[in-house]
Amino acid sequence: MALPTPRARLVVRNPLLNYLLAALAAGAVALLGAPLLGQFDLANIAMLFPLAVLFAAIRLGRGPAVFAAFLSVALFDFFFVHPHFTLAVSDLQYLLTFAVLLAVALTTAELAARLRRERDTAEARAEEAAQARLAAESERLRNTLLASLSHDLRTPLTALAGLAESLPLAGPPLPPAQAELAEAIRTEALRTHTLARDLLDLARLQSETPRLALDWLAVDELVGSALQARAHALRERALTFDLPEDLPLLRADAVLMERVVCNLIDNAIAHTTARGQIVLSAQSGAGWLCVSVCDDGCGLPPGREQAIFERFVRAPHPPGAAAAPTATGDAGTGLGLAIVQAIMAAHGGHVSARNRAGGGACFVLHLPLPPQPERPPPEDNGGEPS
């Protein structure tokens, strides 16, 4: 939504017209001073011309103001200084008058032009600040709406899933067709419940800085915990690991990091066949630890892997929209990767995407490595048998 512009000003964009208006302003001052000739001292009449310069500097810019300054001196000489209607002067003392008038006019032009620039800069900054406040307010309203909707949807969805699950137990066994429908209702209710949960989590992550319960984590324990949480879904997948034993420890929130790895595993499961292969690997170096989750699915468009991934994470698809290749397990909405990105950003890391040489895609977590804690030395029992 566009904000209203500041108050209208007489600012002409055509440079030639600006100079013409500056000339008209100087001419108007000359016409104003003509009746005063003989009534006032020439020095007093000369002080009228800086008014034209001031007008040009404020309204038209520095260049037209300087032009008005020189033109004012010329008009004062031509119309008011003897001999009239010529640029010649009968008394050399008027040269000093012209110099003072020109100096005053140029100083006025410079000061007024500087004030004009500062005013315009201040108002431009106020426009930018207003736009930033509007964007922040819109983002806050969006996140609040997502959180409210997600919270209000989860309870009825849980009840719907429970009712669908209890249908076969409520009486005589259901015919196969009705039993299949009841199971489909339960599955979709649980899937939508997961989607509402992810919307709520994403709104919380994006609306405020997450409070991290930081602790020292071993990568193998983190991966093992995530695999245990997804053990049922991984039964028909081939798993391969490449986790060196000397990997450094992570300083991270265990619950959130397990969510990150689980989301990437869900993504890999969603884009591999029943006997597909999933590879989990990790390596460290140069102050960073990289954890990769790769699959042998369809992959990302060649040459545009990271661009496609970043665009998809920034704008997750609404339910029912077309999903990007290798999105997430959350019904193809992209919420899983958006949550991964938000959690990684909270930890000072980021996510990248690339295709595998043999087909499929890899999502790589990049986490900064803090100074490692001192590990206790191995216990020494003095050589006595235990």
Residue 38 pLDDT level (bands cut at 50, 70, 90): confident
Q: What is the dihedral of CA 180, 186, 192, 198, to 10 degrees?
A: -130
Which helix (H) or strand (E) element contains residue 355?
A: strand 350-355
pLDDT digits (tens, 9 = 90+) for 183-208: 888 888 877 777 777 777 777 776 66
What does the pLDDT read at residue 258?
A: 92
What does the pLDDT read at residue 98?
A: 76
Question: For residue 106, what are its two tokens?
Answer: 């140029």
Query: Is-cis flag, bond preceding 156, omega within 30?
Result: no
Q: At what angle do helices 15-33 and 62-80 cross, to 10 degrees?
A: 30
What does the pLDDT read at residue 36?
A: 85
All residues at 6 or more sequence positions from 150 whose CB lies less than 8 Å from its CB, including other chains: 196, 197, 199, 200, 203
Give the range among 269-273, 302-306, 326-330 with minimum mean pLDDT. 326-330
What does the pLDDT read at residue 317?
A: 44
pLDDT over 80 at 175, yes or no: yes
Number of residues that make up the chain: 386
**Cα separation, 244 vs 223, whole angstroms:** 13
Q: What is the dihedral of CA 313, 318, 320, 322, to 10 degrees?
A: -30
* CB-count burial class (<10 Å; 0-12, 13-18, 19+) for 271: buried
CB 227 within 8 A of CB 293: no
DSSP one-letter string for 86-118: SS--S-THHHHHHHHHHHHHHHHHHHHHHHHHH
**Closest residue by Cα to residue 366 from 341, 330, 337:** 341
**pTM above 0.85?**
no
pLDDT over 60 at 6, yes or no: no
What does the pLDDT read at residue 312?
A: 53
Question: For residue 16, what are its two tokens?
Answer: 């030639």
* Residues facing 288 on adjacent strands: 285, 368
**376 vs 166: which has the higher pLDDT:** 166
Q: At what angle do helices 335-346 and 305-314 cross, to 10 degrees?
A: 90
What does the pLDDT read at residue 334?
A: 64
